[in-house]
Amino acid sequence: MSDITPVTVPSSVYTTDLHSDLTEHLQWYGAGKLHPTHLGDALHNNRYHIVHKLDHHNHSLSWLARDTATNTWRRIAVVHGSSDVTRGYELAADRMLRERSKSTAAAAADAKGILLAKFFEHGPNGTHLCMVFPLNGEVNGFRWGLPERDASVMNEAWFVRQCAKLRGGGGGNNRPANVHAITEKEMLMILGRPRVIEVDDELRAGALAPVAAQQHGGYQVLPRYLVLRPDKIEEDVDFWLSSRAFER
């Protein structure tokens, strides 16, 4: 994996983001809350390498990761450390894994965004359920703006089309064989370089003084920086003008 060099934006971006449209609130971190995750982190015994933020929620963070065991792109949802929250997510995860096991074709399951695997990550804020998804399905938050969320038009095919454009054309040798053939550099060009807000002393003191002082095993419960999710992706005009937009 290459080095990921983010763009640092002013802390005012955080203080004016009143509805957490751009990034999560610092109040969502703390014992039993979100797991402080950073670009370049490696999860599950160094298997999944974090490349970009995809979305955030007060109960989970969604990351683009490279699975180094299979050389594939995945979405990793890292869940809140609360046992009550985890229990609900784990029940849903187990249901999806059973659904996948009954599927006659892995490609069909991937197209629906059905869960691939789960594991647990231990951190300063607790033990976190991590769910591994293909880059498909209705719950990929970075695909905002589509008039209807149809799994057949979402995500993996979109990345392939964008990569083909980057390489200078829509077909032939310019088109990657699949989403997993897209390089990390190309992924960062498609989504944009990650933008981060440094969690400085002022943000710690002003926004989260009680939690900022907490430590667990010598580690701060807050991340060193917050990663903004990519700009909302609006409708892919090229796609909606094609006949494939109406295929089911």
CATH number of the domain residue 208 falls in: 3.30.200.20
CA distance 180 to 98: 25
Q: Are 223 and 53 in contact (CB under 8 A)?
A: no
Residue found under tokens 């996948």: 100
Number of domains into which the chain is organized: 1
Q: Which residues form the domain of 201? A: 7-143+195-230
Q: Report the pLDDT value the prediction gives residue 146, as an integer from 0 to 100.
A: 44
* Coil, strand or helix at 209: helix
Is residue 237 included in any domain, yes or no? Answer: no
Beta carbons within 10 angstroms of residue 248's beta carbon: 5
Is residue 248 included in any domain, yes or no? Answer: no
Is residue 115 included in any domain, yes or no? Answer: yes
Q: Report the pLDDT value the prediction gives residue 2, as an integer from 0 to 100.
A: 55
Is residue 180 included in any domain, yes or no? Answer: no
Is residue 132 included in any domain, yes or no? Answer: yes
Is residue 15 included in any domain, yes or no? Answer: yes
Is residue 176 included in any domain, yes or no? Answer: no
CA distance 116 to 67: 12
CA distance 188 to 4: 9
Predicted TM-score of the model (pTM): 0.83
Amino acid at 203: L
Q: Which of 63, 99, 244 is nearest to 157 (CA)?
A: 244
CA distance 152 to 76: 20
Is residue 247 included in any domain, yes or no? Answer: no
* Tens place of pLDDT per residue across the chain (248 aa): 456 899 999 999 999 998 888 999 998 998 899 999 999 999 999 999 999 998 898 899 999 999 999 999 999 999 999 999 899 999 999 999 998 888 777 777 787 788 999 999 999 999 999 999 998 765 554 544 444 444 334 478 888 888 998 998 655 678 899 999 999 999 999 889 999 999 998 888 765 545 444 544 444 688 999 999 887 554 444 444 444 443 33
Q: Report the pLDDT value the prediction gives residue 78, as an integer from 0 to 100.
A: 97
